[in-house]
Chain A
Amino acid sequence: MKSHVLRPLWVVLALVAVVLLFRVFYVPQNFGIGKRGYMYGWHREANVEDWKNFKVKYNGSSEFCNNCHPDKYESVMKTPHAIIICEDCHGPAIDHPVDPPKLTIDKSRGLCLRCHTYLAYPTSGRADIRGIDPAEHNPDMECVMCHNPHNPMEGLR
């Protein structure tokens, strides 16, 4: 009779075989070492496409808005607010006017205060922006009640 000593080894090898077999079914085919090598490129290749197909929400440019709203576009382009893209206040609009047909405009005081709270910070562009102290300057009112964001320089309305 053969020695019994190796029997646990056979059990272990059988288990390893089971794991390896399971692995064949479990791990996606495209999992492997990518172009960046094993240290930085060990991944499921299809995931790159997954991320590329992630839904875009922002057009990222006001030119898109100009197609349908040239009046608004032209008026704001003459003002210091021309540097702000429409979507910063009007919200992401990649599928507008289909989805959503009407954008939700952020008219809140908080939005204006992002830039126009005066912070006297040297070596930062913030100090150059005309600003107010939100605690002093009409604290209970919305900015848009007096100021026109599309033409901030026109004076109070």
Chain B
Amino acid sequence: MITRRELLKNTVRVIGGIALPLSAFRIITAEEVLAANNDGTKVRWVFLVDTYKCVGCGMCVKACKKENEIPWDANVTRTWVERYVHTKDGKVYADTPKGARDGFTTTKIDLGMGEYKDIKKEDIERAFFVPKLCNQCEKPPCVQVCPVGATYQVPDGVVLVDRSWCIGCGYCIMACPYGVRFFHPVYHVAEKCNFCYHRITKGMKTACVSACPFGARKIGNIKDLNDPVTKIIMTERVGILKEEYGTKPQNYYIGLSEEVK
């Protein structure tokens, strides 16, 4: 009869044995493995977006670019806002000009290649805005595919990129189903939203959450049951994006619709 203690011990031995060559001769102690399994962390950052409240002003994108030093005129961004216009004849139009850095200041939909489509008020069935940012997935495919360990997940759920170790192969960019990653135009390494890690670890809100006048964006700690964000996620009907990829995204959306990509 195997006791639980023995089972744990053996598991630790086996894991340690497997991990040994992988970590190139770094000895894993039983305590380290147990700590990882118990998951003693008290923080797991999640995001909550209310698409009813978003007006597409793009203040979040502006603040994000300035806070995180993403060059203003570079056509990449850590967060962006999408516009969806569902017309009465069943067509869906969507765009995000410059990631909505300057908001949405026209009724014309950007079709790319320099073409625009103006949609009249009376043709619109429903139309709304959806802010996007990194989902800090529980199973981040971008981290799984990094060949050198330059991107990783902190136990509190945030996925970071090590700018001094990234080789710039772009595999993580390819692996992300949400398109949140890009190459930083200055540092030439993979770049992504990290929930303003320097802010949230100091007790501040992310730049985009602070900049949003309408409360469409909220950040919270899902392990804290008293957190208002946690309460909403627990009690209201919220959706996630592209759950079919099995990435377990941790951004929750109120008011998602089937046309949201």
Q: For B210, what are the chain A residues with a Cβ–Cβ distance below 8 Å? A: 58-61, 85, 87
Q: Most chain-A CB neighbours within 10 Å: which of B28, B55, B104, B124?
A: B55
Q: Most chain-A CB neighbours within 10 Å: which of B41, B126, B197, B213?
A: B213
B interface majority secondary structure: loop
**One of B36, B68, B104, B202 near A37 (C-beta < 8 A):** B36
Q: B45 to nearest A CB, angstroms?
A: 13
Q: Say whether A48 faces chain B, with CB atoms less than 8 Å apart.
A: yes
A109-157, CB < 8 A from B: 110, 113-115, 117, 119-126, 129, 134
B103-144, CB < 8 A from A: 103-107, 121, 124-129, 139-140, 143-144
Q: Are A34 and B67 in contact, CB atoms less than 8 angstroms apart?
A: no
A21-45, CB < 8 A from B: 23, 27, 31-44
Q: Are A58 and B153 in contact, CB atoms less than 8 angstroms apart?
A: no
**One of B52, B155, B165 near A35 (C-beta < 8 A):** B155
Q: Say whether A88 faces chain B, with CB atoms less than 8 Å apart.
A: yes
Q: Are A41 and B160 in contact, CB atoms less than 8 angstroms apart?
A: no
Q: Say whether B99 faces chain A, with CB atoms less than 8 Å apart.
A: no
- What CA separation (Å) do A37 and B149 show in the bound complex? 12
Q: Of the 9-residue stretches B18-26, B170-178, B222-230, which lies at the interface with chain A? A: B18-26
Q: Most chain-A CB neighbours within 10 Å: which of B35, B63, B66?
A: B63
Q: Are A122 and B26 in contact, CB atoms less than 8 angstroms apart?
A: no
Q: Say whether A3 faces chain B, with CB atoms less than 8 Å apart.
A: no
Q: For B24, what are the chain A residues with a Cβ–Cβ distance below 8 Å? A: 20, 23, 27
Q: Are B23 and A33 in contact, CB atoms less than 8 angstroms apart?
A: yes
Given A60-B207, A84-B213, A115-B103 in contact, is the A121-B144 Cβ separation under 8 Å?
Answer: no
Interface residues contributed by chain B, number (CB under 8 Å)? 70
B152-178 interface code vs A (CB 8 A; 1 in, 0 out) = 111100001011110000000000000
Given A58-B211, A85-B211 in contact, is the A51-B198 Cβ separation under 8 Å?
Answer: yes
Q: A110 to nearest B CB, angstroms?
A: 6
Q: A17 to nearest B CB, angstroms?
A: 13
Q: Say whether A54 faces chain B, with CB atoms less than 8 Å apart.
A: yes
- What CA separation (Å) do A119 and B84 show in the bound complex? 12
Closest to B148 in A: A42
Q: Most chain-B CB neighbours within 10 Å: which of A55, A57, A119?
A: A119
Binding site for B on A (CB under 8 A): 20, 23, 27, 31-44, 47-48, 50-61, 83-85, 87-88, 91-92, 110, 113-115, 117, 119-126, 129, 134
Binding site for A on B (CB under 8 A): 19, 22-24, 26, 28, 35-36, 41, 51-59, 62-63, 66-68, 85, 102-107, 121, 124-129, 139-140, 143-144, 149-155, 160, 162-165, 194, 197-199, 201-202, 204-205, 207, 209-211, 213-216, 255
Can you report 20 A-B residue pairs in the complex whose CB atoms are below 8 A from each other? A32-B23, A33-B19, A39-B143, A41-B36, A41-B152, A43-B149, A47-B160, A47-B162, A50-B163, A53-B198, A60-B199, A60-B210, A85-B210, A88-B211, A114-B58, A119-B56, A121-B129, A124-B128, A125-B214, A134-B106
Q: For B209, what are the chain A residues with a Cβ–Cβ distance below 8 Å? A: 60
- What CA separation (Å) do A23 and B213 show in the bound complex? 51
Q: Are A52 and B197 in contact, CB atoms less than 8 angstroms apart?
A: yes
Q: Are B104 and A119 in contact, CB atoms less than 8 angstroms apart?
A: yes
**One of A32, A43, A51, A120 near B124 (C-beta < 8 A):** A120
Q: A64 to nearest B CB, angstroms?
A: 11
Q: A35 to nearest B CB, angstroms?
A: 5
- What CA separation (Å) do A88 and B64 show in the bound complex? 11
**One of B28, B55, B160, B255 near A33 (C-beta < 8 A):** B28
- What CA separation (Å) do A126 and B53 show in the bound complex? 8
